[in-house]
Structures are given as C-alpha cells and as structure tokens.
Amino acid sequence: MRISYILNSSLPSNNASSLQVIKTSEALVKLVDKVFLITPDTGLNKSIKNFYDLKYVPKRIRLKFFKKFPQGINYYLFSLLSVYKALKLKTDLYITRNLFTLILLNVLKKKVIIEIHHDLSNEGKLVKFLYKNFNILNSKNILKIVAITKSVKNFLTKDLKVKKNKIQIIPSASSLKIKFSKLYKRKKYNIGYFGSLEKSKGSDFIIKMSKLDINNKYFIYGGSEETIKELRKKTLNHNIYLHSHISYKDLKKKIKKMDILLMPSNKTLVKSLGGVGNIAKYTSPLKLFDYLASGKLIYLSELKVFNEIIKNKKNCIVINRLNPYIWCNHIQKISKNLKKINILKKNAYNLSKKYTYEKRAQQILKNIN
C-alpha cells in the first residue's frame, strides 16, 4: 500500500500538530510499502530526522509556498497542488487533516482517512458550506474519520449527523522511551513544564508557584528566545529556570531530570493556530502522553476531556482549582509520602504503554482494505 499524508503545516516546527503527524507517519512507514508526507516547503532550517528523533523517515514531498498570496488563498492553493502531486505518486490511500483537501479527494472518488481534532469552527465559509450541504463526511469515499477524543466524536455525530460507524476515537500518543525509576527523598525536587507559553496553558501560574515554593526548583521549556528573555526580566526569583522550546530529540534528556511535571491548563484553551477558539472541550495534548511515558508524578488542572485518559489519584493528581497556594501545599504534603508517589508514577508509566505511535498507526489502518 502507498499512503500520502497531506499536511498543510511547516516541518520541522514547534507545533504539536506537526509532531503528531510526523510521528504517526514514521509508524506508518513500518506497516506499508511507502509513505509520502506532502507539506509546504517551509519550516525550521533543520533535519526532520534529527529534530524529531526519527528512525524511519517518510518520503517528504515539499510544495513551494506562495508567500505573496494571503493565507486564505494559500490554504486552497496548497490543497489543489497537494492533491495533484499525490495523484501523480499513484497513491492508494490518502490521510489528511485538511477539510478542503478531503473535499477535493472525495470529488475524485479517492479513498481517504481524515483526522479531526476540534469542532471545525475555524474553517472558512466555503468549506463549511460544502461539508454541511453535501454531507461529505458521510461519503463512502471516506473510509474512516479519526476523532482525537470522545468529545470530537460527539460533536460530529450530534452536530454534523455523521454516522457513528464512520468514526474511530484514536487519542494522541508518545514515542518517548524512558526506563522507569523510583523517586527517592531529596532536599529539592525538580518540577517541570514543557510546552506552549500561552497564558491558557499555565506558564504564568507556574511562575507564581515558584515564588511561593522556594524549597524546590522549577523549570519551564517552551516559547521563543525573545519570549524567554522578556520573562527572565520579570522573574527575579532564583529557583526557576526558563528555557526556550527544545526539539523532541532533546525532550527525553530534559524530562528525565524532572521529578514532578505540571499541566495547569485553564478551562478556556485557545487554539495555537490563530489564537482563537476554545479547544478545552476537545483537546488531547501530546504533552500529557509524553508526561505519562516519562514515569514522573503528574499534576493536572481539572478538564473533563482529560478523564478520557487519566484517573485522579490512580495515575496522577488532579486539582480542580487554579490556585498556586493549593498546588504548592499539595506538593509539600505528598512529598512526605514517597510510597504513594511511586505508585502514581508506576501507574502512569504503565498506562503510557497503551498510547504509542505504533499502536496509533495500527488503529488508523485497522479494517482498511
């Protein structure tokens, strides 16, 4: 089987969506004859193999990006060009996240799998008109719709009347391979956060925690060099260490050094693309799956969608209020109970084995002829 995965996103980049696609594509390479990854010719000036720590690299097809056109026009141009290129590659199965690409492939009666990760509210008027009025998501050419969470599936079935048997829930995953280790008593614990520095993700909250909890060390990895420089000017306490975004290859080295990992997300999460919309109801953050795979003690804020994966007091600690005093006090108390911490850590580590990219790729191709 020859698969073309069409992604309208820069590679390599610091976007979580790009990471998930490249890791899924890597896993698909091991299952089929050929995987083509069709993307714009944009991204950081780095090797995707090294940046994403890949062992199996899909064949990347770069399409020249039309920078002189507005973003909206580029969206449609990319879809047209990527479909044309994929047809020339004699593709058997197409995978995409792009609805206009899906619409074009459906017109051409090609076999398609689409991944949907949100409520489609940010789609353009033309795309919304087409998929709503022509019932495209129920087309026989669409072999499967991959919903990232149950909430996405519920949106598709209730709001868009998509048939339930069209949809398969396949969450995010992690490719981190870290040997589990117990936590032992120490004077200071390393408490870390890896990810976006958008306020809705909680970086400001972690800085407040570090000012209250001077007995532990806090580490933030994320954002641009400029953003980190500005944060350092405002953050004068000496127990917090601020770093810009790191590659997935470096993530393993840094996360191994942590004892506790934080995810203090707001109940309103903005989309990183365009900075609009609330994705808190639908999100399946890659960070959570990497945290689980690291075998560390995890603290999360209460988002209903997280309950599809984790369970409070079994494999993590969920705190329903974003109050830094409460979080710091809880860390102080639980640090006296290493037995409980190591049970939580081990349960999280074991849970992560369900969510690998190998299993994700297998699920995507399951029952596909």
Segment 284-318, tens digit of pLDDT: 889 999 999 999 999 999 988 899 999 999 999 99
Q: Beta strands of the chain (E only): which ranges?
A: 2-6, 34-40, 59-63, 93-96, 112-116, 142-147, 167-169, 190-194, 217-221, 240-243, 260-263, 297-301, 317-319
Distance CA 27, CA 52 (A): 13
**One domain for residues 206 and 321:** yes
What is the C-alpha radius of gyration for the chain, rounded to an integer number of angstroms? 21
**One domain for residues 360 and 314:** no
- 49-64 burial code (b ≥16 CB/10 A, e <16): eebbbbeebbeebebe
**One domain for residues 296 and 204:** yes
**One domain for residues 234 and 321:** yes
CA dihedral 260, 265, 270, 273 (to 10 degrees): 10
pLDDT of res. 143: 97
Tell me how far apart the 2 most distant CA atoms of the chain are, in Å. Answer: 64
**One domain for residues 110 and 206:** no
pLDDT of res. 275: 45
* Residue 209 token pair: 């925690």
User: Would residue 200 count as lying in a domain?
Assistant: yes
Coil, strand or helix at 105: helix
pLDDT of res. 273: 46
Could you please report the per-residue DSSP string of 125-150?
HHHHHHHHHTTGGG-TTEEEEEESSH
**One domain for residues 330 and 222:** yes
pLDDT of res. 274: 46
**One domain for residues 232 and 336:** yes
pLDDT of res. 276: 45
**One domain for residues 127 and 26:** yes
Looking at this protein, which amino acid is placed at residue 4? S
Cα-Cα-Cα-Cα dihedral sign, residues 251, 254, 255, 261 = negative
**One domain for residues 346 and 361:** no
User: Would residue 180 count as lying in a domain?
Assistant: no
pLDDT of res. 291: 98
Distance CA 175, CA 191 (A): 22
User: Would residue 135 count as lying in a domain?
Assistant: yes
Coil, strand or helix at 364: helix
- The pairing of strands 297-301 and 317-319 is parallel
Residues of the chain short of pLDDT 50, as ranges, are 272-276
270 CB-near residues (< 8 Å, 6+ apart)? 198, 200, 276, 277, 278, 279
Cα-Cα-Cα-Cα dihedral sign, residues 139, 40, 7, 133 = negative
CATH number at residue 205: 3.40.50.2000
**One domain for residues 315 and 344:** yes
Phi and psi torsions of 37, nearest 5°:
-115, 110
Q: Of 280, 284, 264, 279, which is closest to residue 199 (Cα–Cα)?
A: 264
pLDDT of res. 67: 63
Q: What is the pLDDT of residues 246-277, one digit of tens each?
A: 999 999 999 999 999 999 988 765 554 444 45
User: Would residue 179 count as lying in a domain?
Assistant: no
**One domain for residues 162 and 16:** yes
pLDDT of res. 270: 53
User: Would residue 275 count as lying in a domain?
Assistant: yes
pLDDT of res. 87: 96
CA distances (Å), origin 348, targets 62, 163, 215, 331, 361: 38, 34, 26, 17, 22
pLDDT of res. 272: 47
- The pairing of strands 167-169 and 240-243 is unpaired
When divided into structural domains, the chain yields a total of 2
**One domain for residues 13 and 143:** yes
Distance CA 17, CA 172 (A): 10
| Range of the structural domain that residue 268 is part of | 190-352
